[in-house]
Amino acid sequence: MNLVRQIKRRSFVVLLFLTLVWSGLAARLWWIQLGAPHNFSKHHIDLVKNAVKQRQQSIMLNSGRGDILDQKGRSFTGKEEQALIIFPLARGSLEGTDMLDKVAQIVQQPAAEISRIVHEGKTPMMLRDQQGNIIPLSDEQAERINALQIPGIVALEVTERYRSDEVAKHVVGFVNQNPQLVQSVYQQELEAGKMSLDSLVGASGLEHSFDRFLQGVQPSILSYYVDGQGNPLRGLDIRLTEQTNQFYPLSLITTLDKDIQRSMEDVADQAQLNEGAIVVLDATTGDVLSMVSRPNFDPNHVNLAEGAWQNHAVKQLAPGSVFKTIVAAAALAEGVVSPGEHFLCEGEYGKYGFSCWKKGGHGSITIDEAFAESCNVVFAQIANRLGADKIEEYAKRLGLGTQVGHLTAQFYKLENFRQIDGEEKGEIFAPQTSRTDEGVLIQTAIGQRDVRVTPLQAANMMVTILRGGQPGQVRLVSDIAYRNGMNFYHFSPQMLPQEGIDTATSLKLKKMLREVVTEGTGSYLQQAAWPVAGKSGTAEVEQNGVARNHHWFVGYAPEDHPKYAIAVVAENQPVSAVNRGPELFARVIDALAALSDKSPSPRSANP
């Protein structure tokens, strides 16, 4: 009989024994109150006191929540592994023995560390490495540990939900205690005793948006009991409480690819991306393959006020010249620019102090050349021809100004259910802004003033262009599955309700996006592993009163046979710094190509 079966059998005995003990004590106390002899009363009052002195420590082996998996079934929420569990409550029974030395020898860890946990610990602990991860034991090590039958030390299978070396932390999110939320959302479960006010609930990410489905069953708890003197209750010392169910908990199957996600997080860290995001979408379907946010955070120790847990991939930012893609689309579709028409850029425009980034200007230039060179003055002139309403209309046609996270109306009686937690809507013009003010209009044309776009929306805009002009919703979760593998619910890809752009315009945009790399501001990307098309952007912002820039590049690759639509942004960069967007985008392309070729990325680790 293995250890788990033994513990389960002993757990039943514990319950039966404690029930009989307390029933007997209750009867004895009733007899005492009726006038039992004095010496008998004193003896049994002491027995009650000793029973009360019995102590217990408990540790969670599995949260009972459903798993969050990638598209290939690989978990982001921990894996089952053998762990060494130590109950400091049992330290008294280990005095004067060499048991801790034997344990240290088996697990090949310093005896001093195990001794420290036993003698200084306040709560049950699992043996961990310096990074805080569980030190996994082999089946042989676990069997040897359990064969020693050491009080308070056991090797069992555990599943830790959040590992320090795991990826997609912002997408997965975290859980915490929220009594107000439990009361408002889970009133029936509270009344049925299935939840309590201190139950863990999803606080961000998929943990939050799918909390009702991930709640699952009660957690697996391992408890250890000692008597008033700290000695284990022989035969009744350890108890395992768990619930098994063929169908629950449910699991989420995401569209993420764990290999791509890990690779993109490596790119972010190697490039020293301290604040920003990387989004990789399937260029055909718009499914999220990777979503990286920085700064990173530890879901086991969340500082809510610090805000590192927020997903920058779905936070709205000023896009800078990336927004010129919208203005170009509107100009081409509405015919406000004649074929071959030339504009004059002399470096300055109008009375607003509006200037081009190139001192002295670009001279006589076409819209294609202006797009490749990101000429501010030409796009200011085009914006005046279009007007504010047309610019906003085409922004919406290309999926901006709306939450593109997949929505299924009335899903499971939840209206406006969205898969992607915390996704911001973005905007083109603020409600109080005058749309007839030329100064506002020309700033809008270059992605400044009120314009706000999320990296997710920007990547999805590329998918829309590649699709021929029809904007679609972004899918992060494809299925919800029962524990036995049967399907509970499938999320089908869906289009956005608004009208897109015509196919001819999308083809022209693809040509212009390629010229950005071959002839314009994205020339750095000519050295990338695959041919690239896209648009750069530098947005002027303020951070705590200090002038800063957001560095963007948005595009797709390989350009001739697109597989990935990508948006990268490095936030709050020094004004003097060269746009890091193309360099970061090149790292992404190299890493994706390396994954495709199963070979190391050639780019160095230094930015």
pLDDT digits (tens, 9 = 90+) for 277-299: 999 999 999 999 999 999 999 99
Q: Is residue 442 part of a domain?
A: yes
Report the DSSP beta bridge partners of residue 158.
81
Residues 125 and 16 in one domain: no
Confidence grade of residue 7 (pLDDT, cut at 50, 70, 90): low
Confidence grade of residue 36 (pLDDT, cut at 50, 70, 90): very low
Q: Is residue 551 part of a domain?
A: yes
Q: Is residue 607 part of a domain?
A: no
Mean pLDDT of 429-458: 96
Residues 312 and 216 in one domain: no
Residues 99 and 186 in one domain: yes
What is the per-residue burial (b if ≥16 Cβ within 10 Å, else e) of 177-192?
Answer: ebeebbeeebeeebee
Mean pLDDT of 558-571: 98
Whether 13 has a pLDDT exceeding 90, the answer reads no
Residues 559 and 486 in one domain: yes
Q: Is residue 433 part of a domain?
A: yes
Would you state the pLDDT for residue 20? 44
pLDDT in tens, 461-487: 999 999 999 999 999 999 999 999 999
Residues 233 and 374 in one domain: no
Structure tokens at 549: 């820039």
User: Could you please report the per-residue DSSP string of 534-545?
Assistant: EEEEEEEEEETT
Mean pLDDT of 267-277: 98
For the chain, what is the mean pLDDT?
87
pTM above 0.85, yes or no: yes
Q: Coil, helix or strand for 486?
A: coil
* Residues 199/177, Cβ–Cβ less than 8 Å: yes
Confidence grade of residue 236 (pLDDT, cut at 50, 70, 90): low
Whether 500 has a pLDDT exceeding 90, the answer reads yes
Whether 71 has a pLDDT exceeding 60, the answer reads yes
- CATH number of the domain at 378, please: 3.40.710.10
Decide which of 53, 68, 87 is a domain's last residue: 53
Q: Give the active site residue among 321, 478, 536, 601.
A: 321
Q: Is residue 603 part of a domain?
A: no
Q: Is residue 536 part of a domain?
A: yes
Q: Is residue 82 part of a domain?
A: yes
Which is more confident, 224 or 28? 224
Q: Coil, helix or strand for 374?
A: coil
pLDDT in tens, 376-413: 999 999 999 999 999 999 999 999 999 999 766 556 66
Residues 239 and 275 in one domain: no
Whether 272 has a pLDDT exceeding 90, the answer reads yes
pLDDT in tens, 569-596: 999 999 999 999 999 999 999 999 999 9
Structure tokens at 24: 């007997």
Structure tokens at 559: 């350009």
The Cβ of residue 446 has, within 10 Å, a number of other Cβ atoms equal to: 30
Structure tokens at 182: 């439990």
Residues 580 and 593 in one domain: yes
Reported in sequence order, the residue ranges of 446-491 that DSSP labels E, i.e. its strands, are: 477-481, 487-490
Q: Is residue 13 part of a domain?
A: yes
Structure tokens at 60: 């969670």
Residues 82 and 197 in one domain: yes
Residues 172 and 318 in one domain: no
Whether 47 has a pLDDT exceeding 80, the answer reads no
Which is more confident, 243 or 196? 196
The secondary structure of the chain in percent helix, strand, coil, rounded to multiples of 5, reads 35, 20, 40
Mean pLDDT of 54-70: 87
Handedness of CA 329, 325, 277, 263 (dihedral sign): positive
Residues 97 and 41 in one domain: no
Confidence grade of residue 347 (pLDDT, cut at 50, 70, 90): very high
Decide which of 253, 286, 307 is a domain's last residue: 253
Decide which of 53, 71, 96 is a domain's last residue: 53
d(C-alpha 319, C-alpha 309), whole Å: 22
Query: Could you give the strand order of the β-sheet that contains 220-226, starting from the edge strand earlier in sequence?
Result: 55-62, 220-226, 238-241
* Residues 393/330, Cβ–Cβ less than 8 Å: yes
d(C-alpha 239, C-alpha 223), whole Å: 5
Give the structural domain span for 302. 258-597
d(C-alpha 25, C-alpha 42), whole Å: 13
Would you state the pLDDT for residue 509? 98
Residues 401 and 317 in one domain: yes
- Return the amino acid letter for 381: Q
- Return the amino acid letter for 158: V
* Residues 345/363, Cβ–Cβ less than 8 Å: yes
Would you state the pLDDT for residue 286? 97
* Residues 216/249, Cβ–Cβ less than 8 Å: yes
Write the CA distances from 277 to 109, 267, 295, 581, 594, integer angstroms. Answer: 39, 11, 9, 11, 21
Would you state the pLDDT for residue 233? 58
Residues of the chain above pLDDT 90, percent: 65
d(C-alpha 227, C-alpha 52), whole Å: 9
Residues 385 and 532 in one domain: yes
d(C-alpha 54, C-alpha 471), whole Å: 65
H or E segment to which residue 57 belongs:
strand 55-62
* Number of domains, the chain: 3
Least confident stretch, 282-286, 312-316, 336-340? 336-340
Q: Coil, helix or strand for 567?
A: strand
Mean pLDDT of 450-470: 97
Query: Closest Cα partner for 168 from 482, 403, 420, 399?
Result: 420
d(C-alpha 135, C-alpha 299), whole Å: 19
Can 321 be counted among the known catalytic residues?
Answer: yes
